Chains A and B, each alone.
Chain A
Amino acid sequence: MLKQNPPALRVEKRRRPLNPFVLVVALSVLIYYTLVGAWPFIYNIWLTFRKTDMITEDKFIGLRNYKYLIGDPVFWKSLWHNFYYLGVMVSVGIITSLVIAALIYRTRGAMRKVYTAMFFAPVVTSMVAIALVWTLLYFPKIGVFARVLSGLFGISTERLTFLQSTTTALLCIMIMDIWRDTGIRTVIFLAGMDEIPDSLYESARIEGASNLRQFFRITIPLLTPQLIFIAAIYSINAIRVYIPVYMMTGSPPGGPANSTMVLTLFMYLSAFYGMRFGYGSATAMVMFVILFGLVLLEIKAFQQKWEY
Chain B
Amino acid sequence: MANPKGMNRYRAVKFASKFSLHLVLILGGLLMIFPLIWMIVSSFKPSLEVISVEFRFFPKIWTLRNYSRVFREVQIGRGYVNSIVVSSAVTAFVLLSATASGYLFAKLRFRGRDLLFFLVLASVMIPPQIIIIPLYILINKFGWIDKYQGLVFPFMMNAFGIFLMRQFMYGIPSDLIEAARIDGATDFRIYFSVIIPLVRSSIAVLGILIFLWTWDELLWPLVVVHGNEMKTLPLIMAHFTQAEQQFPGESLAAATLVIGPILVVYAFFQRHFVRGLSMTGLKG
Contacts and interface: CB of A to CB of B under 8 A. Distances in A.
Q: Do A and B bind each other?
A: yes
B252 A133 contact: yes
Contact of A135 (B32, B186, B244, B254): B244
Nearest to A263: B129
Contact of A19 (B25, B108, B266): B108
Interface string A103-132: 110110001001100111111111111111
Contacts of A135: 241, 244
Given A33-B120, A184-B277, A267-B129, A132 B137 contact: no
Interface residues of A, number: 96
A22 B130 contact: no
B32 A122 contact: yes
Contact of A288 (B126, B216, B241): B126
Contact of B277 (A40, A123, A134): A123
Contact of A29 (B116, B138, B282): B116
B216 A103 contact: no
B2 interface: no
A281 B137 CA distance: 12
A277 B25 contact: no
A187 B52 CA distance: 37
Contacts of B126: 37, 41, 288
A47 B132 CA distance: 12
A47 B283 CA distance: 27
A183 B133 CA distance: 34
Contacts of A251: 241-242
B25 A115 contact: yes
Given A33-B123, A181-B282, A119 B29 contact: yes
A74 interface: no
B64 interface: no
Interface in A171-198: 177, 179-184, 187-188, 191
A36 B259 contact: no
Interface residues of B, number: 91
Contact of B33 (A118, A131, A242, A292): A118
B35 A137 contact: yes
Contacts of B191: 21
A131 B282 CA distance: 14
B39 interface: yes
A124 B263 contact: yes
Interface residue SS majority, chain B = helix
Interface stretch (B65-73, B96-104, B197-205): B96-104
Contacts of A137: 35, 38
B258 interface: yes
Contact of A271 (B50, B133, B187): B133
Contacts of A37: 119-120, 122-123, 126, 131, 159
A143 B259 CA distance: 22
B7 interface: no
A252 to B, nearest CB: 9
Contact of B133 (A34, A35, A120, A284): A284
Contact of B241 (A22, A122, A250): A250
B188 A287 contact: no
Interface in B36-60: 36, 38-39, 50-53, 55
A21 to B, nearest CB: 3
Given A122-B35, A184-B281, A237-B281, A36 B133 contact: no
B150 interface: no
A284 B130 contact: yes
Contact of B134 (A40, A242, A247): A40
A48 B129 CA distance: 15
A47 B187 CA distance: 42
A26 interface: yes
Contacts of B216: 126-128, 243
Given A132-B241, A291-B127, A284 B25 contact: no
Interface string A234-247: 10011011111011
8 contacts: A37-B119, A104-B25, A107-B25, A122-B36, A143-B51, A284-B133, A287-B129, A287-B130
Interface of B: 21-22, 24-26, 28-30, 32-33, 35-36, 38-39, 50-53, 55, 97, 100-101, 103-104, 108, 110, 112-113, 116, 119-120, 122-123, 125-127, 129-138, 153-154, 156-157, 159, 162, 186-188, 191, 215-216, 218-219, 222-223, 233-234, 237-238, 240-242, 244-245, 248, 251-252, 254-256, 258-259, 262-263, 266, 273-274, 277-278, 280-284
Interface of A: 19-22, 25-26, 28-30, 32-41, 43-44, 47, 54, 100, 103-104, 106-107, 111, 114-115, 118-137, 139, 142-144, 147, 177, 179-184, 187-188, 191, 230, 233-234, 237-238, 240-244, 246-248, 250-251, 264, 267-268, 271-272, 277, 280-281, 284-285, 287-288, 291-292, 295
